[in-house]
Structure 1
Amino acid sequence: MSQSQKKIHYAWVVLIGLIVMVGAAKGGIMTTGGLFLTSITEDLGIGMGSLTLYFSIASIVTMISLPIAGKLIAKYNIRMLLVVAVILEAGSFAMFGFMNSVWGWYLFAIPMAMGSVIVTQLAGPVLINNWFKKHRGLAMGIMVAAGGLLGAFLQPAAGNLIASEGWRNTYFILGLGVMAVVIPVVLLTIRMTPQQKGLQPYGMDEVKHNETIQVEKTANSGVTVAIAKKSSAFYFLIIFFLFDTSIAAFNQHVAPYAVGLGYDIKFAGNAMGSWSVGVVIGALFFGFLSDKIGVKNTAISAMFTGLVPVGILIIEPENPVMFVIATGLYGFVVASLGTLGPLLTTALFGNKEFSRIYGLAIMGLAVAGIVAIPTYGYMFEITGSYTNVLYAIFIMLIMNVGAILLAFKGKKKLEKAGLWN
């Protein structure tokens, strides 16, 4: 027993694989998209609103793909599935470098989103839920932080590459680089369940003997997807995802916002690097905090904290120091989405049918992507400013506090009705 306890549990190896996969896919592809927008619109004469519609197309595909992806993860070999998904996502991103018409972005947004659903949204939470019974919040935070950590390096690097090598070559470098790094790591580290390695989830073997029965009893407790879909808690969770994703979607517009204020693309890249540093710190902080004070209180605290950077960007955007501080703090807050989203789902509905419930609930992410990103772009085109966008985000942060409170009120109704078991 003492000898086995000294060994590193394979759950941490899986987490390392997820760190590389999610970090590269998010930090190297998904969060760098906004840095290209101004250069593309100026070079090809495409309107900002028209170009950012490709994010909406990606979100529509995401919404359609989510329930399908959940079934694929349960049915097929997870490593092979992830390899195909990485090729779809990163390969499509690289193909943007060949495009001369906005229709190219619309076309390749489809396979890019299909791959991204599995790589950046579903696989991580499902695998962490399978492998960790102890420190689940911390593990989720570490995984989300990986995207921010790599983004902290890749965002400024991408900004500098666009300035020196052009946006086309930068698409090629990032897309092909992600495939070259992630595919071998996935094949070497990822396994679907502890049983495939002859293990129990991390933390199960550390439970005291007289608590073992209770842990086994509650490990798969909760409600079924059929019951969850009929509850008010489910719909308020969707609203949380909808608003939180709309809040986070502003990251694709930080670079155009900075350039519109008179900053250059290198400054915009550095500001996004600050955002990514904030994501790293925020993901770890919120994961740790949720283990200490609960996911409900942590989520509410995150929403109130978000009012600070939004207020700075409204009041003092022309100050470069304050702009960088605000973007860093903004990244700190939006880290709550990746960290707290899966944890909120588990807190509200348990583990019984987590992957199916989570796959349905995060359709709020897709809806937000369909609406928020291009709406922000069109609001900028019409008004020449992002001020109204920031006011809307301020309001959504406050409304999300209400959504969290009402979701947990809905959970109490499920418990009182005896539907949680």
Structure 2
Amino acid sequence: MTNPTPARLHRRHLATVAGAACLMVAGNFVFFGITILLPELATALGAELSQVMLYPSLQALAGVFAMSLLAPRLYRAIGVRAAIVAGAIWMVATLALSGVVDNLPLLYLAGFASGITYGLVTTMAASLLINTWFEERRGTMMGAVFAIAGFGGIAAGLVMPAVVEGWGHQVGFFVLAAVLALLVILPGIFIIRSSPGDVGLLPFGASTEGQLTAAGGVPLPRVIPGVPAGRAFRSAHFLALAAAIVGFGIANSIQQHFPALFVERGVTLAVAGTLMSLMALTTVFTNIAIGTINDRRGTLTAVLIALAAQAAALLTFAAASGFLPLAAGTVAFAIGMSFSSVLLPITVMQLFGPRDYAAILGPAMSTLPAGMAIGAPLWGAVASSSGSYALPLLISAGVSACSALLVAWAIRTAPAFR
């Protein structure tokens, strides 16, 4: 009896990785670019920065509902590729609109509108593509995609300040729209395909044993294994995963306080900025490393390493004083961030299978911004009332540990559930 023959790596598989990386580079460029534009935008509108900060908040709020309700239906109705192109066209238009508005209500409307398709054409689409095109090396490929994504943030930090200083926030928004068109719409048309079956291929590493073929040897659709979405949403496994993601988001949101936290721990604001740049650079390597660990040692091991690193980083920050301890904590925190980028989509696939993957992934991913929306103001309030960030850091470390236990239980019991 011969062993099943796994599908080989084809240039189309690698093209999909390149296309997914383009989506994530664009997403990071837009995310960091908007952050850089906001102070100039507030000045131009004669508004307080806190008022303009509602723009990204409304983007995130729209994303929660869109990833839960819109994205799975849109992917199913027209396919991932068409959804990426259509969603990017919508976002290009709304970013351009953001550059010409002259009052806060219109700005808020443009922000909410752009957030409807932001996650749909970036993080969620990239995750879905990699998990659809790869059965082997998912972690490695996901890690590579999110590692490359870091260069979008680096590019925004280098380009956008000069754009804003030289031409103002209006041109800045047009640049963001142009980058989105270049890195999302064009790859969506010319590179990305929704599934390997669209071009007569199988996912890389998929077994060809028992595969039926049509004339010319083209594989016919197979029965897709996995848990129906309705059953998944009613399960304790989805509840545990959602609670773990919310907990991770609550703990991870402490990063929005890093400048003040680092200054409190004995460095200048300029050094705090250096530490945050170190974190962004470190994620380029840690995403690849965690993805490789996932493929070689399993998802459970990779998840425990990531969440343990986040907890260790938070405890280090609570006890640290000075640059070197803070730098060590920053590197560990970057390892922890790979849970949401690299491991979350893989964990959803492992728990529930490919059958209704897109329908389950959207609601699961939408719980992350919900957790961060809870955590950011919570840690600010606790720090203000307690007089330092020590208590928020200790609580966040405990929340990270609880998230690790929940995901570990879900993964260990998943085979019996499926």
- TM-score normalised to structure 2 length: 0.80
Per the TM alignment, residue 38 of structure 1 is displaced from its structure 2 partner at its CA by 6.6
Per the TM alignment, residue 147 of structure 1 is displaced from its structure 2 partner at its CA by 1.6
SS at match of 2:88: helix
In structure 2, the residue matched to 1:179 is 181
Is 1:358 the counterpart of 2:365 in the alignment? no
Flag the 1:281–1:183 CA change in 2: closer, same or farther, 3 A: same
Flag the 1:88–1:396 CA change in 2: closer, same or farther, 3 A: farther
Letter in 2 for 1:286: I
User: What pairs with 1:49-60 in structure 2 (closer than 5 Å)?
Assistant: 51-60=52-61
Flag the 1:105–1:251 CA change in 2: closer, same or farther, 3 A: farther
Moved more, 94-103 or 119-128: 94-103
Question: Which of residues 152, 155, 158 is equivalent to 2:157?
Answer: 155
Question: Which of residues 294, 299, 319 is equivalent to 1:295?
Answer: 299
In structure 1, the residue matched to 2:332 is 329
CA distance in structure 2 between the partners assigned to 1:248 and 1:141 by the alignment: 19
In structure 2, the residue matched to 1:368 is 371
Moved more, 300-309 or 38-47: 38-47
* Gapped regions of structure 1 (runs ≥ 5): none
1:137 touches 1:288 (CA, 8 Å); kept in 2? yes
CA distance in structure 2 between the partners assigned to 1:362 and 1:238 by the alignment: 9
SS at match of 1:16: helix
| Deviations 1:30-64, CA, capped at 9 Å, x for gaps | 2455556677778856364x554444433332222
Is 1:18 the counterpart of 2:20 in the alignment? yes
Letter in 1 for 2:269: Y
| Deviations 1:229-284, CA, capped at 9 Å, x for gaps | 222111011012212233443444445656886414xx665444322222221211
User: What pairs with 1:11-410 in structure 2 (closer than 5 Å)?
Assistant: 11-25=13-27, 27-31=28-32, 33-35=34-36, 46=48, 48=50, 51-66=52-67, 67-89=69-91, 92-93=94-95, 96=98, 103=105, 105-155=107-157, 157-158=159-160, 170-204=172-206, 207=207, 220-254=224-258, 262-264=268-270, 270-316=274-320, 319-320=322-323, 322-376=325-379, 386-408=389-411, 410=413
2:21 touches 2:126 (CA, 8 Å); kept in 1? no
1:19 touches 1:143 (CA, 8 Å); kept in 2? yes
| Deviations 1:145-188, CA, capped at 9 Å, x for gaps | 22223324433554676677766654543443333343222221
1:73 touches 1:123 (CA, 8 Å); kept in 2? no
1:40 touches 1:46 (CA, 8 Å); kept in 2? no
CA distance in structure 1 between the partners assigned to 2:23 and 2:160 by the alignment: 18
Per the TM alignment, residue 288 of structure 1 is displaced from its structure 2 partner at its CA by 0.8
Letter in 2 for 1:346: M
CA RMSD of aligned residues (A): 3.7
Moved more, 168-177 or 74-83: 168-177
Per the TM alignment, residue 133 of structure 1 is displaced from its structure 2 partner at its CA by 1.9
SS at match of 1:149: helix
In structure 1, the residue matched to 2:216 is none
SS at match of 1:191: coil
1:222 touches 1:349 (CA, 8 Å); kept in 2? yes
Per the TM alignment, residue 190 of structure 1 is displaced from its structure 2 partner at its CA by 0.6
CA distance in structure 2 between the partners assigned to 1:105 and 1:354 by the alignment: 34
* Gapped regions of structure 2 (runs ≥ 5): 1-6, 213-219
Letter in 2 for 1:360: P
CA distance in structure 2 between the partners assigned to 1:176 and 1:399 by the alignment: 42
Letter in 1 for 2:286: G
Per the TM alignment, residue 131 of structure 1 is displaced from its structure 2 partner at its CA by 1.2
Letter in 2 for 1:29: V
1:53 touches 1:374 (CA, 8 Å); kept in 2? no
Percent of aligned positions with the same letter in both sequences?
A: 19
CA distance in structure 1 between the partners assigned to 2:306 and 2:330 by the alignment: 15
Moved more, 217-226 or 367-376: 217-226
Per the TM alignment, residue 375 of structure 1 is displaced from its structure 2 partner at its CA by 4.1
Per the TM alignment, residue 110 of structure 1 is displaced from its structure 2 partner at its CA by 1.1
Letter in 1 for 2:399: M
1:153 touches 1:273 (CA, 8 Å); kept in 2? no
SS at match of 1:199: coil
1:247 touches 1:393 (CA, 8 Å); kept in 2? yes
CA distance in structure 2 between the partners assigned to 1:183 and 1:326 by the alignment: 38
1:70 touches 1:122 (CA, 8 Å); kept in 2? no
1:252 touches 1:373 (CA, 8 Å); kept in 2? yes
Per the TM alignment, residue 101 of structure 1 is displaced from its structure 2 partner at its CA by 5.8
Per the TM alignment, residue 89 of structure 1 is displaced from its structure 2 partner at its CA by 3.7
Flag the 1:246–1:52 CA change in 2: closer, same or farther, 3 A: farther
Per the TM alignment, residue 299 of structure 1 is displaced from its structure 2 partner at its CA by 0.5
SS at match of 2:122: helix
CA distance in structure 2 between the partners assigned to 1:393 and 1:61 by the alignment: 26
Letter in 1 for 2:277: G
CA distance in structure 2 between the partners assigned to 1:97 and 1:384 by the alignment: 40
CA distance in structure 2 between the partners assigned to 1:218 and 1:142 by the alignment: 28
CA distance in structure 2 between the partners assigned to 1:387 and 1:31 by the alignment: 28
CA distance in structure 1 between the partners assigned to 2:53 and 2:201 by the alignment: 46
